[in-house]
Every structure is written in C-alpha cells, then in structure tokens.
Amino acid sequence: MTPTILEQVQQIASDVFSVPKESITENSSPETVETWDSIQHLNLVLALEEKFGLQLSPEEMEQMRSIGQIRATLESKLHSTPS
Amino acid sequence: MTPADKVLGLRNDIDQLIASGSADLAAARLGELWHNESSPAAAAFIVSRVEKLRGRIALLPYRVAILRSFTVEPAVPLLRAAAFCYGIDLQVHVGDFNGYMQEILDAKSSAYKFEPDAAILALRTSDCASDLWQDYARMGSADREEAARRVVGTFEQCITSFRERSRATLIIHTLEQPARLSLGVLDSQVEESQAATIRTINRDLQNIARREPGVFILDYDALVSRHGRLSWQDERKWLTVRLPIAAHQLIHLANEWLRVLIPLTGKIAKALVVDLDNTLWGGVIGEDGMSGIKLGTEYPGAAYQALQRVMLDLAQSGILLAICSKNNSDDALEVLEKHPGMLLRPKNFSAMCINWNDKAQGLREIAAELNIGVDSLAFLDDNPFEREQLRGSLPEVCVIDLPEDPVQFAPTVRDCPVFERLTLSREDQQRTALYAQQRERSHAEHAFQSKEDFYRYLAQEAEVAPVAPATLARIAQLTQKTNQFNLTTRRYAEQQVSEMASRPDWQVLSIRVKDRFGDHGLVGVAITRDENSVCEIDTFLLSCRVIGRSVETALLSHLASGAKARGCKRVSGWFLPTKKNAPAKEFYRQHGFECQSQNGEGSLWVLDLNRQQIPCPDWIKLSVRNGEHS
C-alpha cells in the first residue's frame, strides 16, 4: 500500500526534527515542535522537494507553517502538475 | 515489499537495535539505509542516531570547518551521514554567513576555536569576483586583468593568514563559471573571454596550492559542470534563503567534500580485491569457456574493459590489486594470461586467491600476504550474496555495492572515495612492482639456514636523512597510514611535520632502504624532541614492507648516537598500544630500554646512553645524508 502524502510528510518531519513519527500531527508547527527552527525549516523544505521531486516557491515556503498546511500545499501542487 | 516499506522498516529496526544495545548491528543497518536512500530526511535520521551510538561503536573523530559565502547548512547532515558510512564521526563547524574573511583574519574567531582538522573555503564566483561575474561585458581590458589579479591576491592572503593561525589542512573550492556568459557565443571568439579569465584564476589557485603544504583544491567548477550548470542552481532559493544549489544536487556537493576528506582521515583502501566471473568479464569461465566469456571492445564486453581500465588507473596511484574468486585456478589463469580482451594481466595482481573456499577466508589470507590490515581492503563482487556474507563476517572491509548493469561498474568504482588520494609519492606509483620484489624476497628467505644469513644475502643499504621538501609529503603520509610497526600512531599533516622540523630541539628523520631485489624507497620515520638532556621519541614507525629485517634497529642506532652527540643522557619513548601495532610491542625491550612507567594509555621506556649503546646490525650498510637534498 502506498503511504498517503500525510504519512510521507510525517516520516520526513520525524527524521528532520528527530522526534517520534507518532508525535507529528496535522497541527504540529514551529510552536509545538521544539527543534523546528528556521534552519530545520529549510532542511524540511529541501527534504520534501527531494522526496516529491518538485520545487517550492518562496510564497509556498512561507505558507507552510504547520504539517496540515504542508500537506495541503503539496496536494494542490502535485495535483495541478501533470506528471 | 516496496522500497519505501523497506526503508521504513529499516528505521524501526535501527531504533529497536539501539534500544536493545546492539550498537554494531544498528551501525550496519544505518549504512544500509544510507545506501538505499541518500536523502536529506535519511541523513537527518542517521545523524541523530549516530549521536546516540557515539562511544559504543568504533568511529574516527574528525573536525571540519566550512568557511563560505553561501548557505551550506543543508549539505552538512548529508556529509556527516556519508562520512559515518566510512567509519568517520565528522563534527562540522559552519562559519558565519559570508564572514569568511573576518574569520580567517581573527585569530580568536570561532573557526579557530573549533580546532578543525581541515577547513573548506567555499566561495561563489559572484561573491568574491562580482565584477567579473556580472559586469564583465562592460569592463575595460585593464579592469578585467586587475580584477583577476585582485581575486587571486585575496586567496593568497587568505591562505597566508590561515596558515599563520592554524595547522589545519585547507581545501579551496575553484570558482565556478557562469551558466550563461556575459558575451554569449562571442566569449569563445575573443582573446579576453570571461570564461578564460575565470579559468586563469582557477589555474593560479591550483599553482598556489601545489606550492603550499597542506593546501588542496576541490574543483567545484568541474563538479557543477559534471552535474549540469542549469540543473545545479536554484535561483529562487538563492534570492530567498541564499542557498544557490538545488535540493537534489546537495548530495553531490557532500560526496565531493567527502572524496577530499577521506584521504585526509586515512580511512582509505590500500588494496582492491576483485571477483572474476561477471565482474572482470561477462559470463562464467568454467561454463562459457575462453570464447564464450564477454570481454572486448564491443558491448557488453566493453563495459568490463572499462572497469579493468579504472583498476589500472588505481594501480597507478599505489592501490594494490588482488583476486578472490571461487573458480578453478587453471581456467582463471588461462583468461588472465591469454584472453585478448584482458587489459589486466597476472603481473598487475599482487595476490591471488582462486579456490572454492569462503571469501572471508580468502580476504584474510590476501591481507596477510600483502601485510596490510583487513580494514584496508575494498571488495568488488557482482554477487549480492557474496557481498552480504562478507559484510556479516568481515564488517571492516569496504564492500562496494555494484549495480546490476555492468556499464555502471566502472563509474561506481571510480566514484568510490576510499580510492582517492591527495598526494602521490614515487612509492605509490611503483607499489605493484615493489610487492612483486617482496614476493621474490620471501622465496629467497625460505632457502636460508638462519635469519642472519638471509639478511647478509639481502645486502641491505639504508640511508638516513633529515626531512627535506622532497620527502615531506611521504613522511606525513607514512605517519597517516602506518598502523603496524608504529610505536605511538600519531598522525601528522605535512604542515605539522614541517613545523616540527623547523624547531631546533626537534629532529625529523627518514630512512630509505634498498637491497639486492630493488629499492623500497622511503620506509621509516623517526621524530624526536630533546628536553633536559632527554631525547624523547615522539614518533617511530616503519612501513610494513620492511618489518622484520632489522631496519628498525639501524634507524634506532642512528637516532641514539645522534642524541648522544647532542649531549643527551637518555632516550625515552612511549609505546601506545592500538588494535594493530602488536609488531612494535617488544621493540624497546629488545633494544635494552627499561620500562619506567605505565598508565592507561601505554608504557614509557627509557635507555641510559652512558650504559647502553645500540649498534647498527653489521648486515646493513648505513649511510647518513645531511642537509638539503633532492
């Protein structure tokens, strides 16, 4: 079974922030995850770009202030881009 | 199981292994994870798990400072994860953004406080030569030349200031070419071209690095061009977060850094052991026969020839080649000797183990025959089963993961960082021949009644000399690579050796040896320091090529008589045991030293020069060369 976009984002966030996957929810954000600082945010963005094979614009990077928003951004981007 | 499931499962396994205390297994699984998924996410995972394993697995600590004009932070976890897979615990300090000049000039800067083993100077052309980068078309000819001179001058100043404040190795990125030249196609037609100007700067940098010990060049421009200039860059990220490199290219920068760092850490392979069937040629000689195997100038045989050509190149840098194959020896030798498609011949191999035994056993025998550690071997085999089995039984061997497609064999071996070298000595280039002479010597040894008879027959001539510019690189290299006959195993970079040699109370000696079979080259080093009438031996080592023929006694004899001539009353030296230096354990005792004290790290030995002398064995003709020489 292919993991959903949310599951993949949770895994990447868990790797990048060094926290258990179970602790990452749609509501996780820089306010709730201690290790989510600006450098780690960049690392997260790069890990997502590498994983999903896309490039995120500065505007999109700005929007992605929680795991839920990241999922939404990725979903709209992946569905609008013909593959 | 899909690949995605596999890497997820691996993460869970690793955490369970760490929790249950199986540190070595966890480390092996982390390596497997990196091999399957060299991604930023996996790198972050590996780095955080290595933190938990530190102290529980054997890793070599190494410290790198990165001085830069752009964002490199996201490449750091990739570098650390990759280094971990080669047994290195890499600590990285990233200097202030675009603050490289201040950090180099300020002796108290955080970069120097970090006490790095190596520093990387990574500058963008657009930062350190912004006029040449963006104003080139509008510059006058004099301004262009002046700008190029200024850039080179800045680098020279960086190197000089850095060297005054640190002994660390310095690695300098070359300047990249613009993806789109200011003059377009005209640039290639005119004499003063933008591309040529940047090439000139890079050539000057290389010349400077060749002059300066401990300064090396990383050809960043070649790296960018290899991966495609346009696909390398990410202009948007540059403008927003000052990261000029696209996410998927960061791994290539990290790997290139590692290729330069590996030879500095000494975590290199000294020999490449290869399988035969389906590795050196296509097919199985025992089944397909001489005419059936695939090897020649056409596909698919050409892919195997390409691999053989890479191996010939490696031999030129002093890497020994050996064969470990489950085969009938006669079949295999017929191919090696007679097949017209073979580029490698028996003389290119320093050891062969062709039988039906377990390969782990074969690799142990090869290491013993070549007189190097098993951890200095790299292993190349097309069969994943053999590779896995070897990883299980000899985890210290560097097992190269060959892809299934033979066309990828040659590039895979070429990319393997354990074969990288930053310097090449005369000894490196002649190593295969030296080992062939060694084999003849061992045969001769069996024919003599006593060791002494054999030594006399060898007619050894040794020459002791103080360090000179021409021998500096080899001396440093020996301190970095010698594991077995090494009393203290202290590793020194070239610039550290040259600094010691410049002090009046220090002596840096080297010994060259030749005998009736040939020239061994520079094979031994002794470094001493006089203090209060005691000559303390800081370093005393001998290349494994000449262990057990009393060359060590000749060198010690010279060292002791020199100390006496300088007015020393005693010679002292530590023996610091490691996993590998057992051959040196009895050295001081055998030469009349008395054990003075012992602590957790080793034992201190002392020789009273008034009561004891160390004669040079009469079968070695020892000569001394003083002062500067070629």
Q: Which of B25, B89, B135 is nearest to B391 (CA)?
A: B25
A and B: number of Cβ contacts within 8 A: 58
Q: Is some CB atom of chain B closer than 8 A to the CB atom of A5?
A: no
Count each helix (H run) and each strand (E run) in chain B, helices first. Answer: 27, 19
Q: Which of B284, B306, B285 is nearest to B296 (CA)?
A: B306
Neighbours of B80 (CB within 10 A): 22
Measured CA to CA, the distance from residue B351 to residue B435 in angstroms comes to: 9
Contacts of A28 (CB under 8 A, 6+ apart): A13, A36, A66, A67
Window 52-71 of B: residues touching A by CB (8 A cutoff) are 71
SS3 call for B543: coil
Show the DSSP H helices in B67-140 as ranges: 75-84, 100-105, 110-113, 125-128, 130-134
Measured CA to CA, the distance from residue B44 to residue B440 in angstroms comes to: 52
**Structure token digits, residue B381:** 């085999």
Question: CB A42 to CB B74 under 8 A?
Answer: yes
What is the pLDDT at residue B3? 65
| Maximum pairwise Cα distance, chain A | 37
Compute CA distances B372 → B77, B341, B348, B484, whole Å: 32, 31, 18, 8
**Structure token digits, residue B335:** 């191919």
Handedness of CA B70, B74, B77, B80 (dihedral sign): negative
Handedness of CA B516, B517, B518, B524 (dihedral sign): negative
* Percent over 90 (pLDDT), chain A: 67
Residue at token pair 């290139």: B256
- Within 8 A of A47 by CB-CB distance, chain B residues are 39-41, 44, 247
> Measured between CB atoms, which of B39, B45, B246 is closest to A51?
B39
> Which of B48, B76, B79 to mutate to probe the A interface, most A CBs <10 Å?
B48
- Within 8 A of A61 by CB-CB distance, chain B residues are 240
> Measured between CB atoms, which of B39, B73, B240 is closest to A47?
B39
> Measured between CB atoms, which of A51, A55, A58 is closest to B41?
A51
**Structure token digits, residue B213:** 């010990």
Measured CA to CA, the distance from residue B564 to residue B581 in angstroms comes to: 28
Phi then psi for B579, rounded to 5 degrees? -60, -25
> Which of A8, A21, A35, A46 to mutate to probe the B interface, most B CBs <10 Å?
A46
pLDDT in tens, B161-216: 999 999 999 999 999 999 999 999 999 999 889 999 999 999 999 999 999 989 99
Q: What is the CA radius of gyration of chain A?
A: 12
Q: Is some CB atom of chain B closer than 8 A to the CB atom of A57?
A: yes
d(CA B45, nearest CA chain A) in Å:
5
Compute CA distances B138 → B131, B143, B146, B195, B197, whole Å: 9, 10, 14, 15, 15
* Per-residue confidence in pLDDT tens, chain A, 83 aa: 678 999 999 999 999 999 999 999 999 999 999 999 988 999 999 999 989 988 888 889 888 999 999 999 999 988 875 54
Contacts of B168 (CB under 8 A, 6+ apart): B65, B115, B116, B117, B118, B119, B162, B214, B493
- Within 8 A of A15 by CB-CB distance, chain B residues are 41-42, 44-45
**Length in residues, chain A:** 83
Query: Does B426-624 match B59-180+192-265 at the fold level?
Result: no
The superfamily (CATH) of domain B271-419 is HAD superfamily/HAD-like (3.40.50.1000)
Phi then psi for B522, rounded to 5 degrees? -80, 115
Q: Which of B241, B66, B38, B230 is nearest to A47 (CA)?
A: B38
Tell me, which fold does domain B426-624 have in CATH?
Aminopeptidase (3.40.630)
For every residue of B574-585, which 3-state class applies, written as one string? Answer: EECCCCCCHHHC
What is the pLDDT at residue B629? 40
Measure the CA angle with vertex B212, ends B211 and B216; round to 5°: 100
Chain A's closest residue to B231, CA to CA, is A55
Question: CB B71 to CB A42 under 8 A?
Answer: yes
| Maximum pairwise Cα distance, chain B | 83
Q: Give the single-character DSSP code of B109.
A: S
Q: Which of A76, A38, A37, A36 is nearest to A56 (CA)?
A: A76
Q: What is the CA radius of gyration of chain B?
A: 27
CATH architecture of residue range(s) B59-180+192-265: 3-Layer(aba) Sandwich (3.40)
Handedness of CA A70, A73, A76, A80 (dihedral sign): negative
- The packing angle between helices B194-211 and B141-165, to 10°, is 30
What are the residues facing B57 on neighbouring strands? Answer: B54
d(CA B522, nearest CA chain A) in Å:
48
- Within 8 A of B249 by CB-CB distance, chain A residues are none
Residue at token pair 């040659």: B410
Q: Domain boundaries in chain B?
A: 1-55, 59-180+192-265, 271-419, 426-624
Question: CB B44 to CB A47 under 8 A?
Answer: yes
- Within 8 A of B239 by CB-CB distance, chain A residues are 58
Q: Which of B23, B34, B101 is nearest to B58 (CA)?
A: B23
| Ranges in chain B, pLDDT < 70 | 1-4, 446-447, 449, 627-630
**Length in residues, chain B:** 630
Is residue B419 within 8 Å of B262, Cβ to Cβ?
A: no
B145, with CB counted inside 10 A (0-12, 13-18, 19+), is: middle
Measured CA to CA, the distance from residue B403 to residue B396 in angstroms comes to: 21
Helix (H) or strand (E) holding B467: none
What is the pLDDT at residue B400? 96
pLDDT in tens, B275-329: 999 999 999 998 899 999 999 999 999 999 999 999 999 999 999 999 999 998 9
Compute CA distances B517 → B281, B321, B338, B435, B464, whole Å: 34, 21, 28, 11, 20
pTM of the complete model? 0.78
Question: CB B4 to CB A51 under 8 A?
Answer: no
A6, with CB counted inside 10 A (0-12, 13-18, 19+), is: middle
Measured CA to CA, the distance from residue B436 to residue B428 in angstroms comes to: 14
What is the pLDDT at residue B439? 75
Phi then psi for B118, rounded to 5 degrees? -145, 150
- What is the per-residue DSSP string for B204-228? HHHHHHHHSTTEEEE-HHHHHHHH-
Phi then psi for B605, rounded to 5 degrees? -115, 145
Phi then psi for B160, rounded to 5 degrees? -60, -50
ipTM for this prediction: 0.89
Measured CA to CA, the distance from residue B502 to residue B527 in angstroms comes to: 12
